[in-house]
Structure 1
Amino acid sequence: MDELGVDVIEAGSAITSDGERESIRAIASAGLNAEICSFARAHRKDIDAALDCDVDSLHLVVPVSDLHIERKLRSDRESVLRKAVEATEYAKAHGLIVELSGEDASRADLDYLESIYRATIEAGADRLCFCDTVGVLLPERTAEIFQRLRSLGKPVSIHCHDDFGMATANTVAALRNGAMQAHVTINGLGERAGNTSLEEVVMCLENLYGIRTGIKCNLLYQISRVVSKKTGIPVAPNKAIVGENAFTHEAGIHVHGLIADTSTYEPMRPEQVGRKRRIVLGKMSGRAAVELALREFGITVNEEQLNEIVSRVKELGDKGKRVSDADLQSIADTVLSRELKPRVLLEELTVVSGNRVTPTASVKLILDGRETLEAGAGVGPVDAAVNAVRRAISGVTDIRLEEYHVDAITGGTNALVEVWVTMAIGDRSITARGAGADIIMASVEAVLEGINRLMLLEDR
């Protein structure tokens, strides 16, 4: 995130646990350019915990709606205002930058909210924050509120949730009407429907409003992938900017337009956010898409052969199947009466996995006619099996696994699964798939299909 160019990193809530404090201390001592912040309630113990982590600033949050004050805190407006002032004074006296945040501000009385803001400014608050805690703001209402709040004389932030899918719109409306900072998260992670998505706000400002944000946009996809992997929370395929389908095209009319001019069906260049354009094949694909894909694999066909390949691609699509690169090559080989002679064949696979046992796998491959034995370990049985295969071919070619995805085709513990992989060598990549009730075998099948197809491309 620091390399990306964000200004403030809220590293956690120091009062949460020993592990959280250890993490915040590590981030605070990492020598980053960004200001490092801790979330805190208006309690001295929260502030002391943040001080113990050596952070630069405090995101000091106080409930400001009557609903939160009366139902959650069982308190009153005067008490909340007093605690907000006392907490601000205490944090400032200990050298912290303070951003005073009004929780549930979008359902609060604005006059009362403004009185808290003004009182904490007098107490030393450096910044203020307006929180749309349950995502009920509308862009036009957001604009009105921030036109009023910008008269306070201190920077005001916007913090939105996406319960109604309005987080990005409300955040941009706030920034266009006086907000100086936006609270955002990678991939829109957050409570319930999530918080405002960093990548959506950045690209909206950069591309639609021509506002330079200082963010290195070409790193957006990379950091999205890292966060998804570390959190174990997948990104929806149709997620704006970073979803796998954001720059993927299938429909024939779209691909035809892209060939003429990419701006016909792309509002931004994929390279701008660290992406690549993908043409996928299915029942919506036309001749132009299929011919373009074949050309990328160095396959030349005549009109009659192209028509036959397109027909078979659509036939697969009509069965509800996505057509992988390996599928297309296989179809082309059949139509052209070419027989693929795989350079790598699986003879045996043994996997050991269990409680308190590091998953390991051993494989016997026939590689260019020679028998090869290799073993590998991994975080799980699939990882171990794939690592064993990669080790077995490492002396011949340097092929890497870039993406791995599993879909359950049927239900139950004996579900039929479909495994999709993207394999790459140098700057060339290929998608392949395997299917079966055994996820390990399906994974190895997909990986070997990808390896053989890439090696075939190398030989051409």
Structure 2
Amino acid sequence: MKIKVLDTTLRDGEQTPGISLTASEKLRIATKLDEIGVNIIEAGSAITSHGERKSIKEITSEGLNAEIASFARAVKIDVDAALECDVDSVHLVVPTSNLHIEHKLKKSKEEVLSQAIDASEYALDHGLIVELSAEDATRSEMKFLKEIFNQGVDVGVQRICACDTVGMLTPEKSFEFYKELSTINAPLSVHCHNDFGLAVANTLGAIRAGATEFHCTVNGIGERAGNASLEEIIVSLKTLYGKGQNYTIEDNDSSIYKTDINIQELYSTSKLVSRLTGVYLQPNKAIVGENAFAHESGIHADGVIKNAATYEPIVPELVGHKRKFIMGKHIGTKGLKNNLDELGIKASDEQFMEIFDKVKALGDMGKCVTDVDLQAIAYNVLELKREQKVKLEEVTIVSGNKVIPTASIKLKIDDKDILEAGVGIGPVDAAIVAVKKGISEFADVELEEYHVDAITGGTDALIDVIVKLRLGDKIISARSTQPDIINASVEAYLSGVNRLLEDVE
């Protein structure tokens, strides 16, 4: 069965508190929606403002393949505004529940019915496709709802839509409700809101009941708790109503419901909308969230590496996403090895276990280690495992408000113990001064540059120190990554010293 998609990101989605898209941003989103195969783009509500009409006109003048629609109330002024924008259709919305009719419109049902039909005929007479939509339909009397829809169909409206405006349906009720409306002789659309977190489930129930079009927004954005999510519905239709297996890009689509959506563009579309709207996407958002295909548990990572289907219902590439192995206290050796392989880092068994222990230690501190962190940790371990002429045995710092920062260090140079002390303007400076004094009889190494980054955040951040050292006309860079800035600084400095001395020899 072919299912059409009406995307209302640019109308219902823009009604999310805090979102206000420019004309160029709306055009970028509309172009992307058209590229991925959306059938109908609700570009906005033309009556809203001059700027809104300008935005809609820019979209309609672009020559997109999708049908371009404007939201309109059941009044001629709204239809005229839509006509001014050269749209293909109007999403003509009329309230149908007693609550809306009596308290919002303060009209009789007869007046509402007459107004809906008059507006529909006016739009049809002016060449527009009309999707007659009942607002708060799921709290309306079914008899009145059917009467409006049937009279609309009689005058020529091409589609009808029932809106679950405040998300009151359950999946069971949704099936029954849309099954009743599917007997009307017109294509039926479903429009669900997510107030109880059931918008996608209710939309799927409506499609099973006979709806042949669904309304949605990218990332499920929209006022209050948002709308039904485009990406969740599309992937559910493809996978849960087909094989129900772990889908790969090469799999033939055996779903009983077909859409024109290019499923591999869902992640990139999500990112575009998130960036342009400024709406933060929660990491655990289904399908497109950054953690949707992320694994930290060692057991899970091991299973996914052996066979992705063990802990993934679909492969991430199907929606243009990417699998990630998160490094924290739950990571296993298989997951860490996979990450090191992806970064092109080769380590011996001993070096690997040292890297593993450092990642685990950071995880116990409540940190998640990123790829950047892992690179720094790995390079640090690999560097320290080189044969070292100068080794740090001990460093002690004394510092305070009324105390000159003082450092004492113990070095081992060619099996000889060297004790030295130094003072500086800060504890790091004092430590480096002490080290310089300790190696002075072997080499006169100058510190050219010193750079420090806190790469994991927080007061217990993982510190990455990079130094540039000079010995004669030889200059090298070295780094160390640790939670302690003093130890990291001294280790980076000595790592560079050892490399310089190695080159001299």
Instruction: Give the aligned partner of residue 337 of structure 1.
Output: 383
Instruction: Give the aligned partner of residue 155 of structure 2.
Output: 123
**What SS class does the counterpart of residue 2 from structure 1 fall into?**
helix
The percent identity for this pair of structures is 53
C-alpha distance in structure 2 between counterparts of 1:271 and 1:226, whole Å: 17
Q: CA RMSD in A?
A: 2.3
Of the three residues 366, 369, 384, the one matched with 1:320 is 366
Instruction: Give the aligned partner of residue 26 of structure 1.
Output: 58
C-alpha distance in structure 2 between counterparts of 1:407 and 1:200, whole Å: 32
1:101–1:141 Cα change, 3 Å:
same
Instruction: Give the aligned partner of residue 221 of structure 1.
Output: 267
| Residue pairs, 1:373-392, within 5 angstroms | none
Deviation at 1:338, TM superposition (A): 4.3
Deviation at 1:78, TM superposition (A): 1.1
C-alpha distance in structure 2 between counterparts of 1:417 and 1:153, whole Å: 64
Q: Deviations over 1:100-133 (max 9, x none)?
A: 1000011111111111111111122111001000
Instruction: Give the aligned partner of residue 173 of structure 2.
Output: 141
Deviation at 1:148, TM superposition (A): 1.3
C-alpha distance in structure 2 between counterparts of 1:336 and 1:271, whole Å: 33
Structure 1: gaps spanning 5 or more residues: 341-405, 411-415, 419-432, 436-460
Q: Is the Cα–Cα contact under 8 Å of residues 333 and 339 in structure 1 kept in the other structure?
A: no
Structure 2: gaps spanning 5 or more residues: 1-32, 242-254, 387-454, 463-480, 484-505
**What SS class does the counterpart of residue 182 from structure 2 fall into?**
helix
Of the three residues 290, 314, 324, the one matched with 1:268 is 314
C-alpha distance in structure 2 between counterparts of 1:417 and 1:142, whole Å: 50
1:299–1:417 Cα change, 3 Å:
closer
C-alpha distance in structure 2 between counterparts of 1:298 and 1:87, whole Å: 65
Deviation at 1:417, TM superposition (A): 10
C-alpha distance in structure 2 between counterparts of 1:308 and 1:263, whole Å: 31
Name the amino acid aligned to 2:346: T
Deviation at 1:409, TM superposition (A): 5.2
Q: Deviations over 1:121-176 (max 9, x none)?
A: 11221110010000010111111112211111100100000011100000011111
Q: TM-score, normalised by structure 2?
A: 0.67
Name the amino acid aligned to 1:237: P
Deviation at 1:329, TM superposition (A): 2.2
1:44 equivalent to 2:76? Answer yes
Of the three residues 87, 101, 105, the one matched with 2:119 is 87
Q: Deviations over 1:268-292 (max 9, x none)?
A: 1111111111112111101111122
| Residue pairs, 1:425-436, within 5 angstroms | none
Q: Is the Cα–Cα contact under 8 Å of residues 153 and 185 in structure 2 kept in the other structure?
A: no
Structure 1 runs of 4+ with >4 Å offset: 406-410
Deviation at 1:339, TM superposition (A): 8.9
Instruction: Give the aligned partner of residue 238 of structure 2.
Output: 206
Deviation at 1:21, TM superposition (A): 0.2
**What SS class does the counterpart of residue 383 from structure 2 fall into?**
coil
**What SS class does the counterpart of residue 329 from structure 2 fall into?**
coil
C-alpha distance in structure 1 between counterparts of 2:374 and 2:218, whole Å: 35
**What SS class does the counterpart of residue 59 from structure 1 fall into?**
strand
Name the amino acid aligned to 1:315: A
Instruction: Give the aligned partner of residue 107 of structure 1.
Output: 139
Instruction: Give the aligned partner of residue 227 of structure 2.
Output: 195
1:57 equivalent to 2:89? Answer yes
**What SS class does the counterpart of residue 60 from structure 1 fall into?**
strand
Instruction: Choose 1 or 2 for highest CA Rg.
Output: 2
Q: Larger RCO: Structure 1 or Structure 2 (Cα < 8 Å, ≥ 6 residues apart)?
A: 2
1:232–1:325 Cα change, 3 Å:
same
Deviation at 1:333, TM superposition (A): 2.6
Q: Deviations over 1:164-219 (max 9, x none)?
A: 11000000111111001000111111111100000000000011112332210111
Q: TM-score, normalised by structure 1?
A: 0.73
